[in-house]
Structure 1
Amino acid sequence: MGIDALHRSARSTLARLARARMDNDVFRWEAAEVLRRAIGFDTWCWVLLDPASGLPTRYTATNPVIGHNQRRFFPLDLQSRAACPAAPGRTRPAEVSVLSTVTGGALDRDPVWREMLGPGGLGDQLGAHLAADGVCWAYLTLYRDEGRAWFSAGDAALVASVAPLLAARLRAGLRHTTPANTDPGEPGTIIVDRDLKLVTATSRAWRWIARLGLEKPSDAEPLPGFIYAMLARLDHAAQPEQTAQVRLQAADGTWALVGAAPLTGPQVDGGYAITLQTAPATDLTGVLMSAWNLTSRERDVAALIIEGRSSDDIAASLFLSPHTVRDHTKTIFGKVGVHNRRHLTAALTGQLGEATA
């Protein structure tokens, strides 16, 4: 089979895969295998993103160099952005980047490759932010081992052509949530030192991590990778008192809110506190509205519906006619797949399963 036919087959297979019933974690593994057969690579890293913060949430990697060293990778990645800003993983949404092209064939111009990937036996890499309707939901990086041919323009073109499809499928995978009505548990707390090494954690924190269904990178790095990404951003923040948070779906379909903040005080020599808890409904509304692809005006209307406002009240608040509000409401119901305001509110606050049970 020729290259063009192989790429057409991959696009068709990915389209079918996107319609299949599977969660986002399984979809990423299946889609990566389709791409591997089409363009050839050895390992990959695929990260879902919190669309509000742009921070990683569910991190899956077959690349041991990155997967087992995330505490080192994320700070180094931030440091190297100025040196090689267009390298894979640092592109803007809808862009695809090939490291050998960006560096003019001198891969060691990229500090991450020079410090980690090259010594780990890796060669070229291809990366893409996956955006749907202007919102970035994930990024994907493909790696070839040292000594293999570099990624071609055709390889990059294939990934670019399927990126919106992949993004839309991952976005759709976040829509159906499970209400947190089965022992959500108290918040858990983790303390790390200024070098991002684990100091201590409550038993609740480990229960939360288990609930998320994320593997630890290694015994030396016992926390999920997304936590190291949060801490790396805080470590490089311009304001020392800055905080970070992400919302992510646990393996059971419930949502967690994870926040991190620097430790302060005369007896504290740096370090951070991380809190894991059930995501409040108010924190989910924004991401779920994005997941259902509501327009800006539809979000305005939906937010007031969630508040329990009547159509006339919504019309007055948004300077619209009641007829226009009813049209928006009908469109919103159609997108979300509900038939009344109670179910819409449930869908946009992470309680859909409870409302429709």
Structure 2
Amino acid sequence: MVYAPEVRERVRADLMRLVHRGMPVADYWRAVDDVLDVAVPAEGSCLMTMDPATMLPTAEFVENGLPADAISRLVEIELREPDYTKWVDLARAGTTAASLSDATAGDLDLSRRQREVRRPGGYADELRIVLSSSTGTWGALTVFRETSSAHFSTPEVRFLSSLSGLIADGLRRALLLDDASAGGADAGMLVLDPDDGVDLANREAQQWVDELGTGERAGTRLPLVIRSVARQARAIAGGVDRAGGDDRSGGVDRAGGAGPAAGLRPARARVRTRTGRWVIVRASLLGEGPPAPVAVLLEAARPAEMAPLLADMYGLTQRERQVTELVAQGLPTRQIAGRLRMATYTVQDHLKSIFAKSGTGSRGDLVARLFFDQRALPLTDPPDAR
């Protein structure tokens, strides 16, 4: 079924608000499941959190799913045996979402997990969504239908694929919030009252605040980026984007630009500290309504998160960015050409342009410059660290 644009946009807007509602992982997953069911109905769903370094499952949250012993067999197939649309295969191929019916051309029983586990349990088609961001793969979402329901359509797969980054952002926030609350993460966490007063701050948050500095304006208690992101989270919760104008004061660069839903921009920003480090600042509302406090999470920006900024600085085109990403994955020219559906000589022309713009002379130099050597070419003059 193809849903009207207004339905799809409402789903995006609702997801955007959920992303910025500081909920535990289990509550976040249930809320996302309810929103997605409006546009892509399903009889059940499963969220798996993953270790981004290994893509090994770390926890699962299941609604109307299979019993525990069946899940154990599914995990065994996923980790040790060949099958269709395995998570690691989807991630390696850069595929955000896929249905089992499409992968098997409608013959679901070609899948081992379908034959052995899912069909005996009364289930038919499944749609898998990889929850990845620039920081890694943090989880995976599966929605599935029973044998009496139609297979997932291509428009449904495409629509959920377009939402994967947004859902992944919310999952990352929920995981960070859970870990910071338990004292088990390196992330800093501040809890702000409606007037931006600090109700709670862990040690890591205080360190980031000190490193960011509050500026020279008398009476300022918090860095501008924290106040800006917190207010944007409140605006999103109310369905209104109140962040206007240029938000780059103090070295701030809004991560992601315009939000996935029209008129809504994410409550997230990258900012350079006085010592030259970059930090990602995220905010989520802890509850509903104007009196609700806001949780602000701060963590060091990872190299992959800085690559888009450096690409902007070098003026890389969209095609040049795509080529660079595939170079970073170690793909040779012929495979890059096949992936991007262009001639090999076109890829070589793009590489020449990329090398010229970035001041590099080889693929290795390029990858090091964009993804690892953040300090080699700072985006702005190093600020006074006094």
Residue 79 (structure 1) shift: 4.0
C-alpha contact (below 8 Å) 2:53/2:136 kept by paired residues: no
**Deviations 1:239-270, CA, capped at 9 Å, x for gaps:** xxxxxxxxxx5xx9426xxxxxxxxxxxxxxx
Aligned to 2:3: 3
C-alpha contact (below 8 Å) 2:127/2:143 kept by paired residues: yes
Aligned to 1:173: 174
Residue 37 (structure 1) shift: 1.6
Find the aligned partners of 1:26 and 1:56 in 2 and give their Cα distance. 19
Q: Report the identity percentage.
A: 23
**3-state SS of paired residue (2:18):** helix
Find the aligned partners of 1:7 and 1:48 in 2 and give their Cα distance. 26
Aligned to 1:73: 74
**3-state SS of paired residue (1:120):** coil
Residue 24 (structure 1) shift: 2.0
Find the aligned partners of 1:157 and 1:23 in 2 and give their Cα distance. 28
Normalising by structure 1, report the TM-score: 0.50
**Deviations 1:144-176, CA, capped at 9 Å, x for gaps:** 000211101111111111110111111122333
Structure 1 portions without partners, runs of 5+: 178-248, 256-278, 290-301, 307-323, 338-345, 350-357
Aligned to 1:159: 160
Q: Which amino acid aligns with 1:91?
A: L
Aligned to 1:200: none
**Deviations 1:191-211, CA, capped at 9 Å, x for gaps:** xxxxxxxxxxxxxxxxxxxxx
Find the aligned partners of 2:110 and 2:8 in 1 and give their Cα distance. 31
Aligned to 1:298: none
**3-state SS of paired residue (1:28):** helix
C-alpha contact (below 8 Å) 2:50/2:58 kept by paired residues: yes
Q: Which amino acid aligns with 1:254?
A: A
Find the aligned partners of 1:20 and 1:169 in 2 and give their Cα distance. 9
Normalising by structure 2, report the TM-score: 0.47
Q: Which amino acid aligns with 1:328?
A: G
Distance verdict in 2 for CA 1:45–1:94, change over 3 Å: same
C-alpha contact (below 8 Å) 1:88/1:141 kept by paired residues: no
Distance verdict in 2 for CA 1:161–1:89, change over 3 Å: same
**Deviations 1:218-246, CA, capped at 9 Å, x for gaps:** xxxxxxxxxxxxxxxxxxxxxxxxxxxxx
**Deviations 1:90-147, CA, capped at 9 Å, x for gaps:** 5215520100000011100000000000111101000011111151111000100002
Aligned to 2:120: 119
Residue 55 (structure 1) shift: 1.6
Aligned to 1:148: 149
Find the aligned partners of 2:100 and 2:175 in 1 and give their Cα distance. 31
Residue 69 (structure 1) shift: 2.6
Aligned to 2:373: none
Distance verdict in 2 for CA 1:325–1:6, change over 3 Å: closer
Distance verdict in 2 for CA 1:75–1:2, change over 3 Å: closer
Distance verdict in 2 for CA 1:78–1:97, change over 3 Å: same
Residue 12 (structure 1) shift: 1.5
**3-state SS of paired residue (1:13):** helix
2:274 to 320, 326, 329: 326
Q: Which amino acid aligns with 1:138?
A: G
Query: Structure 1 residue 64 and structure 2 residue 65: aligned?
Result: yes
Alignment of 1:39-58 (within 5 A): 39-58=40-59
Distance verdict in 2 for CA 1:328–1:335, change over 3 Å: farther
Residue 89 (structure 1) shift: 7.4
Q: Which amino acid aligns with 2:3?
A: I
Report how many aligned residue pairs link the two structures. Answer: 205
Q: RMSD between aligned alpha carbons?
A: 3.3
**Deviations 1:15-50, CA, capped at 9 Å, x for gaps:** 122122322221110011111121110000101112
Distance verdict in 2 for CA 1:347–1:56, change over 3 Å: same
Alignment of 1:270-309 (within 5 A): 284-285=185-186, 288=187
Aligned to 2:281: 335
Find the aligned partners of 1:30 and 1:40 in 2 and give their Cα distance. 14
